[in-house]
Amino acid sequence: MLAADLNCVTSSASMADLAPLRTTRNLVDLAQDLEGITLVWDDGRVSRFTAAWLRDNCACPQCRHPQALERTYMFIDHATPTILAAAIGPGEVVDITFAAGSESHSSRFTKGWLREYGCCEDALREREFTQRLWGSDIASRLTTVSYADYMHTSDGVRAWIDAIQTDGVALLKGVPAQPGQLLEVGRRIGPIRATNFGDHYDVVSMPNPNASAYTAMGLELHTDLANWRSPPDVQLLCCLKSTVTGGESVFADGFMVAEELRIADPETHGLLSTHALDFRFHDDSCDIRARAPTIELDRAGRHLQVRFNNWLRAPMRLPEDVIEPMYQALATFWRMLRSPRFHLNVRLEPGDLIAYNNHRVLHGRAPFDPRSGERHLQGCYLNLEDLQSRLRLLDRV
C-alpha cells in the first residue's frame, strides 16, 4: 500500500526565500488532477501548475540546501511525479503530496510565492519597472539626489536607482570633490566593474592619450566600451575640476531615438538591428574586439542595447551589398542623435556625479580649451544586476 511507503517531508512555508513573497489576494479554489493543480484567486486569475514543475520547486530542506538555499533536488534522478493529494491549508498555504514511482514527497507552497510564479504570460511581459523615454524635456525633471541622502538613507539610494532604471540617468550633487570618491559612491551599490582602463579612470587632457576621452577634443554622443562583448551597464562620471572654457556634457536617450527611428524609418532600424558591426580598442597592453549590432532588441522586439561609438568602430565586415546601406543607416541614426531635441545638456561642476545606463543613454562633451583652466573628471562602471540587487535588499522586510 502506497501510504505505508510514504517518506513524507513537510517543508516549512519559508520557500527558502530570505524575503518571503506576499500577496493581498486570496485563494478561492483548488482543483487537482494527476498532472497538476489549478488555483483560482479572488480577482479571477487562474493559475495552472504542473506536477513536475511544482515538485522541482519544492523548498524543503531535502530539496534545497538549508543554508545556501540553492536547489539540491535533481529532477533527472527521479521518476516523473504526479499529484497524489493537494489542499489549501491554514494560512493559505498549499500542501501537496507527490507520487513518483515508488517514492513520495510532500511539499508546502505559500500563496505569495504561488501568486508570484503562477503568472500568465501577459504578466510575465510586464517589466519590473516602467521605462520613461525622454528628450530635452528631461532637463526640468532630471532626478537629482544629494550625496548625503544617497550615502546615508534608503530613500536616497532608492531614488537614484529608480531613476537609472526608469530614465537611465541620475545626478548626484555634493559629492566631495576628491580623487577616488566616486568609488565610494559605486561601492554603496556593489563591486566596481573594472575594464582595461582599471577600476576607475581619470578624464583629463593628457600629452600622450590612448583614447579620445583623454584629449581636449569634443566627443560626439557615444556609448562607452563598444568594443566589449558586454559593455559595462552603468557609468559614473564625477567632476573634480571644471574651470575650463567649454567641456559641457551632453546626453541622449538612445532608446527614444531608436524608437523614433523605428516609426519613421523601419527599414533603417531593421538594418541597424540586424547587422553586426566590428569594434576595437587597442593600445600597448590590450587589443579588445567585439562584433555586435548598433541596436540590439530582445525577443519581444524591445530595445535592449544601443552601441554607438565612431572612434572604436573597426572596418565593417559585411556583405558588399550591405555596406553602402549600412553607412546610410548609420548616418540617419547619427543625424537624429545630433538633433538638440534629444539632448540633455549639463555643465558638470565639482561635486556633481552623473550616472547613466551605458546600454541606453549616450554621452558626449563639447571641446574645451585646456589653457583656459582645469578639467578633471573620474569615471567608473557598475553592473545593473548590482543596482537591481541593492533595490531588492532595500525592499526586504
The residues that touch ligand OGA, with contacts defined as CB under 6 A, are 203, 213, 219, 224, 249, 363, 365, 377, 379
Residue 221: half-sphere exposure toward Cβ, Cα within 13 Å = 24
**Minimum gap (Å) between residue 279 Cβ and ligand OGA:** 14
Q: Which of 14, 32, 62, 146 binds Zn ion (CB under 5 A)?
A: 62
Q: Can you tell me the distance from the alpha carbon of 64 to that of 70, in angstroms, rounded to the nearest whole number?
A: 5
Rounded least distance, CB 372 to Zn ion, Å: 22
63 binds, among Zn ion, ligand OGA, none (CB under 5 to 8 A by kind): Zn ion
In 135-207, alpha helices (H): 147-152, 154-166, 181-187
Q: How many CB atoms lie within 10 A of CB 56?
A: 15
Is-contact 221 337, C-beta < 8 A?
Answer: yes
Q: Which residue has the cell 541622449?
A: 252
Task: Pick one of ligand OGA, Zn ion, none as the site partner of residue 377 (Cβ within 5 to 8 A by kind).
Answer: ligand OGA
Residue 60 touches Zn ion, criterion: CB under 5 A: yes
Q: Which is nearer to ligand OGA, 112 or 379 (CB)?
A: 379
From the CB of 259, what's the least distance to ligand OGA, in Å? Answer: 24
Question: Considering the complex, what minimum distance in angstroms separates the CB of residue 213 from ligand OGA?
Answer: 4
241, with CB counted inside 10 A (0-12, 13-18, 19+), is: middle
Contact 337, 361 (CB under 8 A): no
- Closest to ligand OGA by CB, 236 vs 271, is 236
Residue nearer to ligand OGA on the CB measure, 185 or 203: 203
CB of residue 363 vs ligand OGA: minimum separation in angstroms? 5
Q: How far is the CB of 11 from Zn ion (least distance, A)?
A: 5
Nearer Cβ to ligand OGA, position 81 or 186?
186
Nearer of residues 60 and 213 to ligand OGA, judged by Cβ: 213
3-state secondary structure of 275: coil
Task: Please answer whether residues 89 and 100 qualify as being in contact, where contact means their C-beta atoms are separated by less than 8 angstroms.
Answer: no
Three-class DSSP category at 349: coil
Contact 104, 8 (CB under 8 A): yes
Residues β-bridged to residue 146 = 173
Q: Cell triple for residue 185?
A: 559612491
Q: Is 58 an interacting residue with respect to Zn ion (CB under 5 A)? A: yes
Q: Which is nearer to Zn ion, 167 or 224 (CB)?
A: 224
Q: Is 224 in the site for Zn ion (CB under 5 A)?
A: yes
* C-beta closer to ligand OGA: residue 35 or 248: 248
Task: Point out which residues bind Zn ion (CB under 5 A).
Answer: 58, 60, 62-63, 224
